[in-house]
Amino acid sequence: MQDVNGVPARPGPRRTRPLIVAGAEPFFYAAGPTGCLLLHGLSSSPFTMRELGRQLADRGITVAAPLLAGHGTSPEDLRTKTWADWVISAEQGLAQLRAHGCRRIYLAGLSLGGALSLYLAGRDPEAYAGLVVMSAPVWLPAVLRAPLTAMSEALPYFAKLGSDIADPAARARQLTYDRVPLATGATIIDLLAEVRAGLGRITIPALIIYARRDHLVHPMNSMHIYSAIASREKRLCVLHRGYHIVTVDYDKARVFQLATDFMQPPA
């Protein structure tokens, strides 16, 4: 390797970056001038959003699905990240859409990604064309933050019991961590406090989707989102067959139809 003057360059210090698990990579589907930012859930990856992304791109919507910081690599990597790092990841996806020429942008997120979408919409109420929120939490008891932080050194992780997906074939394909850092729970509590503070500022059209049999995020979260946002155009949709990860479960076809119809570019 040579530098700009033709002199052999000295190798610099090697930076080690966590390797992304195969299948968990971020993706970008270029299509029309309407864009959508797709954000995945906690301990997951863009894998859960890929099929929805293809459906949107087939309908002429450009899609960016970034890999949230600390995800798709290792639980040890996730332990070093805060909700502010996840916001930066989301902003990188938005920058991709804008660089492609998208001026009409929708936010769409699953679980943690839904909470981040709500945060972005509350922070910049006029910046987006609409919002699709799937299985999103807005409540975690603030009293848990101190004990989670205190315990995180002695007990850094808690084990996951698998993915909350009813379809066994989809559950077997799911890419996720087998454990989650306790420190991550503390930073999610901080994020959700910011999300709740901004709900009343959200005025853009909103589609809120939840599964009746979600074992991770109680349906009351979605009902609270629906009642708290100030959007005049808003819709609350319930799914009856699947569980938490609605983009890969039994009702995914309905989710895709609802989302693509909601974001359909103007004729």
Q: Is 18 within a domain?
A: no
Q: What is the pLDDT along the chain (267 residues), one digit of tens a residue?
A: 333 344 444 444 455 667 999 999 999 999 999 999 999 999 999 999 999 999 999 999 999 999 999 999 999 999 999 999 999 999 999 999 999 999 999 999 999 999 999 999 999 989 999 999 999 999 988 878 888 888 888 889 999 888 999 999 999 999 999 999 999 999 999 999 999 999 999 999 999 999 999 999 999 999 999 999 999 999 999 999 999 999 999 999 999 999 999 998 555
Q: Is 148 within a domain?
A: yes
Q: Domain range holding 147?
A: 27-263
Q: Is 17 within a domain?
A: no
Burial class, 138, CB count within 10 angstroms (exposed 0-12 / middle 13-18 / buried 19+): buried
Please name the residues in contact with 13: beta carbons below 8 A apart, sequence gap of 6 or more.
Answer: none
The predicted model scores a pTM of: 0.91
178 has catalytic annotation: no
215 has catalytic annotation: no
Q: Is 56 within a domain?
A: yes
Task: Give yes or no for a contact between 180 and 157, defined as CB atoms under 8 angstroms apart.
Answer: yes
| CATH code of the domain containing 83 | 3.40.50.1820
Looking at the structure of the chain, the number of domains it has is: 1
Q: Is 105 within a domain?
A: yes
Task: Give yes or no for a contact between 102 and 31, defined as CB atoms under 8 angstroms apart.
Answer: no
240 has catalytic annotation: no
Model confidence over 91-129: pLDDT tens digits?
999 999 999 999 999 999 999 999 999 999 999 989 999
Catalytic choice (164, 167, 214, 249) = 214
